[in-house]
Amino acid sequence: MPRKPFKPICPKCGYDQSGEIATWKSQCPINGRCNECGIPFQWADIFDPSRTRLHWYAEHARSLTNFLSATPKTLIRIILPHRFWRTVDTTKDLRPMCLIAWVIFVMILSHLIVSIPNGILARSAYNWNGTTIGQHYQMYGGYGIAEILFVAIAFPYFNALPRASSFRWTLFIETGWPEAWYQSFFKVINFQLGFLVLWLLILAVIPTTRSIAKIRTGHVIRAACLSALWIFLSYELSRALRIMHALTDPIHNLYWFFDGWIVPVSGLWQVLFWSCAVSIGWKVKQWKSLVLLGTAAALLGGTALSIYAFLYAT
């Protein structure tokens, strides 16, 4: 397959720099500036964006070991959005597919970690008709073990039961109560989800605000991926707290204290994260109006989705 011809573009707005390069006669300058958005850059970074990769950042990982070692470092750095965006600015190489893969990896990993106490909880709640795991295996074979694993991952949203049908065992899967979906899932994520969707509308769909932002789609994808990861991790934290609370009652007060704070604190983080992306990371010229408009719209979106889910569930 023929390789796509290399196109020198501005790392921030994607403006084609071929015209500028065509004016070079006998020598090429070291530094340049985009005629479209005004961002200064080094020409070497335009020709080889991999020069701008960060060793600690998972999106820029060069190998599997680097991918794994960069995971905790990236997670720690996104806690403080202003510091994160100061480093991961528009001059840094965009690798959306790598970032998406990393976000999915962290989501699956965090869910599996929290599934261990969830499995223990489901077992103590049901006790599987008073059987041990060994007896369970003897009774239902592989389906018994599949039930244990499935319940650990999906309880209380789905439940699995080994059932006999036409002389063989199968796994029967039933959906959990709508109340469980709302209380432990939508209630935690819906404000942040509405917030994220509205920011995406502002930055990627509405033409007026798009032209104010003047950034490549990859930068929006980067912010959206990390924002979505935060939503998921705040959900997993709430899930872990709920499970630990059900398993060990002494942390009762601690549970109510932390669980009450997860939604407002993670919502506040989203406000900060997107504001810092626009002002510090992307250095949008009219950042004040864009942050104001984006935050107001996103807050409305988050609130609207929260109210809708509440009315739907009650």
User: Contact positions toward Zn ion, by CB under 5 A?
Assistant: 10, 12-13, 15, 34, 36-37
- Beta carbon nearer to Zn ion, 39 or 198: 39
CB of 42 to Zn ion, least distance (A): 14
- Beta carbon nearer to Zn ion, 60 or 214: 214
CB of 23 to Zn ion, least distance (A): 17
Beta-carbon contacts of 47 under 8 Å, excluding residues fewer than 6 positions away, are 6, 8
Closest CA to 191 of 256, 235, 224, 157: 235
| Separation of alpha carbons 205 and 200, rounded Å | 7
| Separation of alpha carbons 91 and 33, rounded Å | 12
CB of 188 to Zn ion, least distance (A): 39
237, 246, 251, 268, 298 from 240: Cα distances, Å: 5, 10, 13, 21, 28
Beta-carbon contacts of 140 under 8 Å, excluding residues fewer than 6 positions away, are 147, 162, 169
- Beta carbon nearer to Zn ion, 15 or 102: 15
Give, in degrees to the nearest 5, the angle at Cα 101 between 209 and 306: 50
CB of 198 to Zn ion, least distance (A): 26
CB of 41 to Zn ion, least distance (A): 9
161, 214, 281 from 296: Cα distances, Å: 47, 20, 20
CB of 92 to Zn ion, least distance (A): 14
Contact predicate 270/228, CB 8 Å: no
- Beta carbon nearer to Zn ion, 223 or 231: 223
- Beta carbon nearer to Zn ion, 29 or 141: 29
The residue length of the chain stands at 314
- Beta carbon nearer to Zn ion, 36 or 45: 36
| Separation of alpha carbons 162 and 37, rounded Å | 61
